[in-house]
Amino acid sequence: MTTPVYFPAQFMEHTPHAVFMQRCLQLADLGAGYTAPNPLVGAILVHDGRIIGEGYHGIYGGPHAEVNCIQSVKSADRVLIPSSTLYVSLEPCCHYGKTPPCTELILGEKIKKTVIGCRDPFPLVDGKGIEKLRTQGVAVEFPVLEDLAKEKNHRFFTFHLNKRPYIILKWAESANHKIAAEQGKRTGISNAWSNRLVHKWRTEEAGILIGTNTAMLDNPQLTARLWTGKNPVRIVVDHQLRLPVSLNIFDGTAPTIILNGKKDSLSGDLIFKKIPLERPDPASILSALHSLQIMSLLVEGGAKLLQSFINAGSWDEIRILTNQELLLPGGIPSPQLGNAQFVKSETYGPDQVSYYRNPKMLFP
């Protein structure tokens, strides 16, 4: 557990709830990469300006932030729980999922005051957690730091409100904006530092998507082996089921979904998911992935697949690694950015990493 922060009583009068909510948001981050399709949530218990408990949702299927927070209270402080305020970055749940409702826990512990960051868009909760607490006599202060609390869970909100995964399009390109030297030839573009950054990104998303040609020609592993964390689910579009099982994506090192036009089947970590269309488009791919509970997606190519997502307006972020020292005459042009809005750039040796956002596509 982290060191408790102590606010003296006279300071407390002027301490906005925002300070304690900030702490919840910090704690929420500790679950990043492990909770999908659940949200990132942090909670603290504050008694007379002193934090007596802290917790966060650490892993999908595991205890919620509120449970870990209450469990962390030292035995000498347990008597203080009913007269403490529970701060939580997301509305407490009121349903039986993999774990029991947090509202029952709050009521059972006789906590009389809660401060909540933002509403939970999950249909089984969606305001009903707050209502339950209020009707049972718990004072609820809501919302506090709502924009930051929602931003923390932009993947979760996008998944529930837009009914599709949160989408990050990514590619590496030469200084003259080519993603490969020629069709069918794997071209090394990014460097050891930026490759590690990409593997870090892989640990942060639920799934990683590529098209048939990229799977066939590049034979990628799509794992996060250069960074510590969880491998994303590998997702490949293979409409005609042309891909040979000798490819790395079939090596069993990470769960793999094959989106195809022929069959639905499940064998261990290998899922075949049928898309009943002549040609799968972004909308059909996304609705299949939504039904498979893939909360966020890193799309890593090829150019045609990336462009189809841009053209459909189905994307949230674009991240481009540009090797400023590499020129590829001829070659395959990078996708066209369309209405992408520049956010920032970073430098990793010769590579510049540029981040864009979709100005139209934030959750409602």
93 contacts ligand AOF (rule: CB under 6 A): yes
Applying CB under 6 A, the site for ligand AOF has a residue count of: 17
| Residue with Cβ nearer ligand AOF (25 or 328) | 25
Binding mask 300-319 for ligand AOF (x = CB under 6 A): --------------------
Applying CB under 5 A, the site for Zn ion has a residue count of: 3
Q: Shortest Cβ distance from residue 123 to ligand AOF (Å)?
A: 9
**How many beta carbons lie within 10 A of that of residue 345, not counting itself?**
12
| Residue with Cβ nearer ligand AOF (114 or 223) | 114
Q: Which of residues 92-111 bind Zn ion (CB under 5 A)?
A: 93, 102
Residues acting as catalytic residues: 66
CA distances from 167 to 50, 156, 163, 286, 318 (A): 40, 12, 12, 9, 9
Q: Which of residues 166-205 bind Zn ion (CB under 5 A)?
A: none
236 contacts: CB under 8 Å, gap ≥ 6? 209, 210, 211, 212, 215, 243, 249, 256, 257, 258, 259
Q: Shortest Cβ distance from residue 23 to ligand AOF (Å)?
A: 15
DSSP 81-133: GGGSEEEEEEPPP-S-SSS--HHHHHHHTT--EEEEEE---STTTTTHHHHHH
66 contacts ligand AOF (rule: CB under 6 A): yes
**Burial zone of 62 (CB within 10 Å; 0-12 exposed, 13-18 middle, 19+ buried):** middle
| Residue with Cβ nearer ligand AOF (117 or 280) | 117
Could you tell me whether strands 256-260 and 270-274 are parallel, antiparallel, or unpaired per DSSP bridges? parallel
331 contacts ligand AOF (rule: CB under 6 A): no
Q: Which of residues 139-178 bind ligand AOF (CB under 6 A)?
A: none
Helix or strand or coil: residue 154? Answer: helix
358: tokens are 């979709």
Sole window of 34-42, 185-193, 287-295, 303-311 interacting with ligand AOF (rule: CB under 6 A):
34-42
Strand order in the sheet with 166-174: 265-267, 270-274, 256-260, 233-237, 207-210, 296-299, 166-174, 317-323, 351-357, 341-348
**Residue 188 contact among Zn ion, ligand AOF, none, beta carbon within 5 to 8 Å by kind:** none
Q: Which of residues 111-140 bind ligand AOF (CB under 6 A)?
A: 120, 122, 125
216: tokens are 């066939």
97 contacts ligand AOF (rule: CB under 6 A): yes
41 contacts ligand AOF (rule: CB under 6 A): yes
Q: Shortest Cβ distance from residue 255 to ligand AOF (Å)?
A: 19
Q: Where does this chain bind ligand AOF (CB under 6 A)? A: 38-39, 41, 57, 64-66, 90, 92-93, 97-99, 102, 120, 122, 125
